[in-house]
Amino acid sequence: MTISSTHPAAGALTAYAAPRGGRPAALFAMAPEHLPALFPAPLLDRLKGLFDIDESLFAQGYDEESLAPVLAETEILITGWGAPRLDSAALTAAPRLRAVLHTGGTVREVISDACWERGLLVSLDELLAGSDIVSVHAPDTPQTYRMLNRERLALIPDGATLINTARGALIDPEALTEELLSRRLNAILDVTEPEPLPRNSPLRLRPNVFLTPHIAGSLGNELERLGRSVVEEVERLLGGLPLLHPVIQADLGRVA
């Protein structure tokens, strides 16, 4: 099972194992009044296009008898403000649960020790071997250099997709090139080593490789979002409220 939050400290690597059958079943676990703000109609339509979810059904307590058959089939739980705690009983009631996607507020009130005891946060090698999509987000540090080396790339299943929007140095370029030229893997690469790739790089013309120029954060409305974030932080600062995105010294070793 994967736990994701819209307010991460800074992730290193995320992965997702695609469902083997039809569309996964999902369930909202939050106070209902927050849904319109979190998921306006266009976003809600996108969600409903991805998996089966009832927009009128909310889990506000996992012990509700009427929710038992729904929880038994739920694979994705979308949590937010007002979400009940995922304790051992809740996890037992949702045996097919594969991902918890948290929209707002601290995740600490949602996650219990039982989540970790059920074998969530696995080794990197295990994660790679069981993932159909691998997305790399770690900073470039001595500890992350060649984090995905030849041996670890070989663990990723045939036909899987590797996404790197972090730094090219995290992946062994020669090993990655061999994997991609063999068409065993697909890749979406915003960063490479060297960067940019030479004009004669064989990866430039491969149908299983999608290259982007590492400037996505400097185009379009992304810049406005950055500015808006600063304005919102100033408003909180002047209003005597805690900042939403503080930089914590303990995190500096693993953030960009």
Each residue's pLDDT tens digit, 210-240: 999 888 666 667 667 767 777 788 788 778 8
99 and 4 in contact (C-beta within 8 Å)?
Answer: yes
| 236 in catalytic set | no
Q: pLDDT at residue 25 above 50?
A: yes
Six token digits for residue 108: 């600490």
Q: pLDDT at residue 79 above 80?
A: yes
Same structural domain for residues 224 and 208?
Answer: no
Same structural domain for residues 142 and 210?
Answer: yes
Q: Which of 85, 146, 214, 254 is catalytic?
A: 214
**pLDDT value of position 6:** 47
Same structural domain for residues 107 and 22?
Answer: yes
pTM of the model: 0.56
- Which three-class secondary structure state does DSSP give residue 72? helix
**pLDDT value of position 10:** 37
Q: Which of 33, 126, 151, 195 is catalytic?
A: 195
**pLDDT value of position 18:** 46
Q: Which of 34, 75, 167, 179 is catalytic?
A: 167
Q: pLDDT at residue 188 above 90?
A: yes
- Count of the separate structural domains present in the chain: 3
Q: pLDDT at residue 248 above 90?
A: no
Residue 170 vs residue 15, higher pLDDT = 170
Identify the domain containing residue 226 by its residue range. Answer: 217-251
Same structural domain for residues 12 and 100?
Answer: yes
| 193 in catalytic set | no
Q: What CATH number did the domain enclosing 24 receive?
A: 3.40.50.720
In a domain? residue 23: yes
User: Cα(146)–Cα(144) distance, rounded to whole angstroms?
Assistant: 6
Same structural domain for residues 221 and 210?
Answer: no
**pLDDT value of position 256:** 60
Altogether, the residues listed in the chain come to a count of: 256
Same structural domain for residues 102 and 144?
Answer: no
| 85 in catalytic set | no
Q: pLDDT at residue 15 above 50?
A: no
In a domain? residue 209: yes
User: Cα(186)–Cα(133) distance, rounded to whole angstroms?
Assistant: 9
Strands of the chain, DSSP E: 2-5, 13-16, 26-29, 76-79, 99-102, 133-136, 161-164, 186-189, 209-211
In a domain? residue 256: no
User: Cα(114)–Cα(100) distance, rounded to whole angstroms?
Assistant: 14
The amino acid occupying position 50 is: L
Query: Mean pLDDT over residues 124-151, rounded?
Result: 92
Query: Mean pLDDT over residues 57-85, rounded?
Result: 90
User: Cα(112)–Cα(79) distance, rounded to whole angstroms?
Assistant: 14
165 and 43 in contact (C-beta within 8 Å)?
Answer: no
Residue 242 vs residue 105, higher pLDDT = 242
**pLDDT value of position 22:** 67
Domain final residue, candidates 99, 117, 135: 117
pLDDT tens, position by position, 81-120: 899 999 999 999 998 888 888 887 677 788 888 887 776 5
